[in-house]
Amino acid sequence: MPDSVLAHLLSFVPVEDAIKTQVLSKRWQFLWTYLPSLHFRSCCYDDFADFVTFVNKTLIPSNCSKLKRFRVDCDYSCLPDFEPSVSLWTRFAVGKGTEELHLQFEDIDNFMVDECRYELPQRLFTNPSFKALCFCLCSVVPKGVVAWNSLTKLSIGYVELSDAVIQKILAGSPVLEFLEIYCFYGFDRMRISHSALKELILREIWDFESNRVGSELEISAPNLQSLQILGCLGRTTCRLLDVSSLVDATLNFKLIRPGEDSEDDSDLDPEDGYESIQNFLRGLLESLVHVKNSTVGTWAIQVLSIMEAKGLRSPLLKCECLRLDTPIFQSVLPGIANLLESSPNLETFRVTTMSSSICYEEEALSREWKWF
Amino acid sequence: MASSIENNNEKLTLKSSDGEEFLVEKHVALQSTLLQNMLDSDCSSADVIPLPKIDARTLALVLGYCKKHADASSSKQGELNSFDSEFLKDMDMGALFNLVLAANFMEIKGLLDIAAQKIADTIKDKPHQEVREIFHVENDYTPEEEAAVREENRWAFEGFP
């Protein structure tokens, strides 16, 4: 077997084990230095300093001329002390022409705090080798332009993003096809008119106490083919301005109804809250009438149940394949009926309970539902 | 007559190292970057394409994989995943090595990766002597040399047997 194939094969073994194959024979002594893909995980180390040493010692002898993938999964709480090392790692990744870079940090206690994110070095924003990037718990603030000319896949999470940063990223990634943003806040406009972007996933918007009135996220993406909105969006609603090419849509999210989770808003009429979420959902469905394949989750179905009780119909949908991602209980049944009656072109209908993000407050809404 | 020429254009013939010929539909052959590049350049699909490093048994497996992946629509990823794991399930190491070499030569990335993953899963956590046997590696270190390698890279061996 040629060395290049053996090195490729070794890159599927945990890097700690791959390095130890140097004792197999003289031929294998330096094979590990040609690993085309490196994945480091801090979870197997008791002492974080040992992890950092291990990564450093693995990178120094690397002979690989072009890295396919460089991935670090580690706990960020200890990382600030080792930030110079992490910056060396990213410098290494850029120097090796890495195609896929994953910086997956996590910090269970402080993920909301801005200082607890790794600030991406500016050189990363203009590296033309990147084809896929995943950043978790990194602060993404390009000071100059973004030039990700080969980038097709981008996933960013636990992050604050401004409208300006989003626009810089989209403008600087001309061939981007897949974009996922999760656990985020800070921007309310996405215009993706020029882009090759086909698939967009938005999962979980962080909401702050200050966002009492609720903000609105505007999305305009005339070339987009697939859109998924998932998780809890807090009080942030979405408005789809132009999604005319959309074929697949998934609405598996929940919204906090104005006045739902705070005690001092008790003077607010709950009816006003329902009114606003009904209008929001209706508006969203109206912009998705042309979509062929739809998936709808529990929360949206329950809102449709409330609408059904009031005699309000969902807009007429052209949907051919409808999937409901929900357990079946009383408060979803009228909503399902509402959807089915509004989908005259339906060919396939499925009910699944696969998603983990489904059962938001099943009880709470069920209780409220009985009130109607 | 015209229709038979058309048919010929959509199929091509691959010849294994042991002389067996396989008639393959073009869209199936396109799963291989090597064949794709050959078809894109001057190579006529009427020619027999020799694959001198791949025996008939391995080639049949490779083409089975290519056909499944060429025919499945992109929406059936789950079905393809279960096909992939079933495909390699009871395969012995020799067959897996042949498959890796064939996939590497024919540049079929998906197949190369699943076969490499399967081999990697097998050698993971195995003692070095067993890994040597799997790869037919003879330990040509003297005991002193092996000790020196371990000593020099102690950081990589600490905490491990």
DSSP string, A251-273: EEEE-PPTTSS-STTTTS-HHHH
More confident residue, B48 or A287: A287
Mean pLDDT of A187-208: 84
CA nearest neighbour of A50 among B159, B151, B15, B82? B159
Of B120, B137, B146, nearest to A9 by CB-CB distance is B120
Q: How confident is the model at residue A358, as a pLDDT?
A: 44
Which amino acid is it at B153?
Answer: N
Q: Is B116 on the interface with A (CB under 8 A)?
A: yes
At residue A274, the pLDDT reads: 78
Q: Which residue has the higher pLDDT, A322 or A268?
A: A322
For CA atoms A52, A55, A61, A63, give the dihedral sign.
negative
CA-CA distance, A293 to A281, in Å (whole number)?
17
Mean pLDDT throughout A13-27? Answer: 92
- pLDDT attached to residue A299: 92
Rounded distance between C-alpha atoms, residue A38 and residue A298, angstroms: 40
- The secondary structure element, H or E, covering residue A296 is strand A293-297
Q: Whole-angstrom Cα distance, residue A81 to residue B110?
A: 40
Query: In terms of Cα–Cα distance, which of B125, B44, B112, B114 is closest to B80?
Result: B114
Q: Which of A5, A16, A53 is closest, CB to CB, to B101?
A: A5
Q: How far is B124 from chain A (nearest CA, A)?
A: 7
- Tell me: pLDDT of A325 over 50: yes
Q: Which residue bears the tokens 């999937």?
A: A323
Q: Which of A12, A178, A199 to mutate: most B Cβ within 10 Å?
A: A12
The residue among A78, A77, A33, A31 whose CA lies nearest residue A52 is: A78
**Which residues contact residue A50 at a Cβ distance below 8 angstroms, ignoring those fewer than 6 apart?**
none
Q: Is A265 on the interface with B (CB under 8 A)?
A: no
Query: For residues B30 and B37, what is the distance between their CA atoms, to the nearest angstrom?
Result: 9
Which of A135-139, A155-159, B37-41 has the lowest average pLDDT? B37-41
Report how far residue A10's alpha carbon sits from residue A36's, in angstroms, rounded to the nearest whole number.
9
Q: Give percent of chain A with pLDDT exceeding 90.
A: 59
Is the CB of A81 inside 8 Å of chain B's CB atoms?
no
- Give yes or no for residue B4 having a pLDDT over 80: no
Could you give the CA distance from residue B17 to residue B113 in angstroms, rounded to a whole number?
A: 23
Quickly tell me which residue has 């395969």 as its tokens. Answer: B91
Token look-up 């080792």 returns: A82
pLDDT at B68 over 70: yes
Query: Reduced to 3 DSSP states, what percent helix, strand and coil does chain A have, rounded to the nearest 5?
Result: 35, 25, 40
Cα A28 to Cα A87: distance, rounded to the nearest angstrom: 30
* Whether the Cβ atoms of residue A72 and residue A38 lie closer than 8 Å to each other: no
- Mean predicted confidence (pLDDT) in B76-104: 89
Which residue stretches of B13-76 are H helix? 26-29, 33-40, 56-71
Token pair of B70, please? 């060429």
Query: Which among B123, B140, B153 has CB closest to A25?
Result: B140
Distance of alpha carbon B154 from alpha carbon B158, whole angstroms: 6
Q: Which residues contact A248 (CB under 8 A, 6 or more apart)?
A: A225, A226, A227, A291, A292, A293, A294, A295
B137 and chain A: CB distance < 8 Å anywhere? yes
Whether B134 and chain A come into contact, CB under 8 Å, resolves to: no
Residues 6+ apart with CB under 8 A from A364: none
A-chain residues within 8 Å CB-CB of B101? 1, 5
Which of A192, A71, A97 lies closest to A150 in space, CA to CA? A97
The pLDDT score that the predictor gives to residue B79 is: 83
**DSSP-derived 3-state class of residue A35:** coil
Query: What are B48's strand-pairing partners?
Result: B13
Tokens of A290: 């042309």
HSE-CB for A46 with a 13 A CA cutoff: 2
Put simply, the chain A residues between 24 and 63 with a CB less than 8 A from any chain B CB are 24-29, 53-54, 57-58
What's the complex ipTM? 0.87
More confident residue, A64 or B5: A64
Count other Cβ atoms within 10 Å, centred on residue A264.
7
Are B140 and A26 in contact (CB < 8 Å)? yes
DSSP A120: P
Does the structure show a pLDDT above 60 at A255? yes
Is the pLDDT at B153 greater than 50, yes or no?
A: yes
Across the interface, do B128 and A13 touch by the CB < 8 Å criterion? Answer: no
Question: What's the alpha-carbon Rg for chain B, to the nearest Å?
Answer: 21
CB pairs under 8 A between A and B: 73
B62 or A110: whose pLDDT is higher? B62
Is there a contact between A24 and B139 if contact means CB atoms under 8 Å apart?
yes
3-class secondary-structure state, position A155: strand
Q: Are A83 and A54 in contact (CB under 8 A)?
A: no
User: Mean pLDDT, to the nearest integer, of A211-216?
Assistant: 66
- Identify the pLDDT of residue A80: 74
CB A179 within 8 A of CB A219: no
pLDDT band at A174 (very low <50, low <70, confident <90, very high): very high
Alpha helices in chain A (DSSP H): 3-10, 15-20, 48-59, 83-95, 163-172, 270-286, 298-309, 333-341, 362-371
How many Cβ atoms are within 10 Å of A167's Cβ, its own excluded?
16
Query: Does residue B101 contact residue A8 with C-beta atoms inside 8 Å?
Result: no
Q: Give the per-residue pLDDT at A15.
A: 92
| Confidence at A169, pLDDT banded by 50, 70, 90 | very high
What confidence score (pLDDT) does residue A1 get? 85
Task: Give the pLDDT confidence of A293-308 residue by residue, as tens digits.
Answer: 999 999 999 999 999 9
Q: State whether A22 and B153 contact (CB < 8 Å).
A: yes
The answer to whether the Cβ–Cβ distance between B139 and A2 falls below 8 Å is no
DSSP state, residue B148: H
The pTM score is: 0.87
Touching check for B151 and chain A: CB below 8 Å? no
What is the distance of C-alpha A237 from the center of its chain? 17
**Does residue A36 surpass a pLDDT of 70?**
yes
Residue A214: pLDDT band by 50, 70, 90 thresholds? low
The residue ranking higher by pLDDT, A221 or B44, is A221
Give the residue from A322, A303, A321 showing the smallest Cα distance to A313.
Answer: A303
Cβ-nearest to B128 among A23, A26, A53: A23
A8–B112 C-beta distance less than 8 A? yes
Q: Spell out which residues of chain A touch residue B112, defining contact as CB-CB under 8 Å.
A: 8
Look at residues A213, A218, A220 and name the one whose alpha carbon lies nearest to residue A238: A218
The predicted pLDDT at position A342 comes to 93
Site from A4, A10, A13, A350 to mutate, B interface, most B CB atoms within 10 angstroms: A13
Give tens-digit pLDDT for A38-83.
999 988 888 888 899 999 999 999 998 999 999 999 887 777 788 8
Whether B119 and A20 lie within 8 Å, measured CB to CB: no
**pLDDT of amino acid A208:** 65
Q: State chain B's mean pLDDT as an integer.
A: 85
pLDDT score, position A371? 45
